[in-house]
């Protein structure tokens, strides 16, 4: 879940990003990020934009909503001391 959140947060900053940028910023290998990206696309949390020059990714409104709810869960778990694991 943390990896998914990290990818969504990177895309949530309002820019379209290339996969290489996401690999670097999320500290993942190019092999491992593919399954995360496929999952996010399948669940309509991000979308791929195919341009002639490059392929980029952007967050969807559903992805933004997920980030907001994830933050609520993080705050809730911290309030009960559950963030120490």
pTM of the model: 0.85
Instruction: Name the band, by pLDDT with cuts 50, 70 and 90, for residue 85.
Output: low
Model pLDDT, residue 14: 81
Q: Write out pLDDT tens, residues 29-78.
A: 989 999 999 999 999 999 999 988 889 999 999 999 999 999 998 888 88
Task: Determine phi and psi for 19, rounding to 5 degrees.
Answer: -60, -35
Contacts of residue 66, Cβ cutoff 8 Å, sequence gap at least 6: 8, 45
- How far apart, in whole angstroms, are the C-alpha atoms of residue 40 and residue 8? 9
Nearest residue to 3 (alpha-carbon basis) of 48, 37, 49: 37
Secondary structure (3-state) at 55: strand
Q: What is the CATH number of the domain that holds 68?
A: 1.10.10.10
- Asked whether residue 84 carries a pLDDT value surpassing 70, the answer given is no
**Structural domain containing residue 43:** 2-84
- How far apart, in whole angstroms, are the C-alpha atoms of residue 78 and residue 27? 25
Model pLDDT, residue 4: 93
Instruction: Name the band, by pLDDT with cuts 50, 70 and 90, for residue 15.
Output: confident
């Amino acid at each position: 879940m943390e990896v998914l959140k990290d990818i969504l947060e990177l895309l949530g900053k309002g820019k379209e990003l290339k996969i290489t940028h996401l690999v670097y910023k999320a500290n993942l290998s190019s092999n491992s990020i593919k399954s995360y990206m496929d999952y996010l696309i399948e669940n309509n949390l991000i979308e791929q934009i195919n341009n002639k020059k490059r392929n980029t990714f952007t967050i969807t409104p559903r992805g933004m909503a997920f980030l907001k709810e994830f933050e609520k869960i993080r705050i809730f778990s911290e309030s009960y001391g559950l963030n120490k694991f």
